[in-house]
Amino acid sequence: MGEEMNVEREYGNWLDEVDSVSPPDFFTAVLDELYARGPNPQETAQAQEQLRRAMASVGHERMYYDVLPRSPIGSVYIALSERGVVAIDFSDGEEAFLSWIRKRTGVYPLRSPERTAEATHQVEEYLAGKRAAFDLPIDMRFLTDFQRTVLRAVMKVPRGEVITYGALARVIGQPKAARAVGRALGSNPIPIVIPCHRVLASDGSLGGYSGRGGVRTKADLLRLEGVSL
């Protein structure tokens, strides 16, 4: 018993000596300081938002997105479901785009350059004048029947050609629906790939365009396709 007490006493003395002569090393001191500060509020908020998006997608289909940061019309955001392209946007920025996707589809898209690589590549080629047509699946499930009818019809307008709103209304068998056709085109969620820019007013003027730059961008896209204005 006495021998055990001596061992404990000697061990305790050794610990006291270590504590008295060995200050915390640099890395321990840095870690202690970081732990004392707590997490960065901005990084915490970002992590929480990413977690919310991931949890919202559990049990649902997946949606992916990425951005083409530089193009003749600025940043272009592209979102895809497992079935095809759901949205292309170049107007209000990333947060507005993600909010719009969530509201429209009920799914938070997750950023994935890998999943969206082909779509991003084709859009980039088109805007650089290196691609004449797209070879991408399109997901129109989140549109009304009328919107789908109008957008499928405008997809048949060849590159380098234009059509009027009235003529497109006649193509779909609703000659009095030119205004409704215009509204459907104005809410086209997949511009460029679905070429609503090829539709003009009855007097040959450009009409409207909802993307960044308005009718100026519409004119640029038409010129890119070889249309004389």
168 closest CA partner among 154, 189, 156, 186: 154
Q: Which domains does the chain have, with CATH numbers?
A: 60-142 (3.30.160.70), 143-229 (1.10.10.10)
Does residue 209 contact residue 218 with C-beta atoms inside 8 Å? yes
Catalytic residue positions, numbered? 196
Per-residue pLDDT tens listing for the chain (229 residues): 555 545 455 544 544 544 444 555 555 665 566 666 666 767 666 666 665 655 554 456 789 999 999 998 889 999 999 999 999 999 778 999 999 999 989 898 999 999 999 999 999 999 999 999 999 999 999 999 999 999 999 999 999 999 999 999 999 999 999 999 999 999 999 999 999 999 999 998 998 888 878 899 999 999 999 998 8
State the pTM of this model. 0.72
Q: What distance, in Å, lies between the first and last C-alpha atoms of the chain?
A: 104
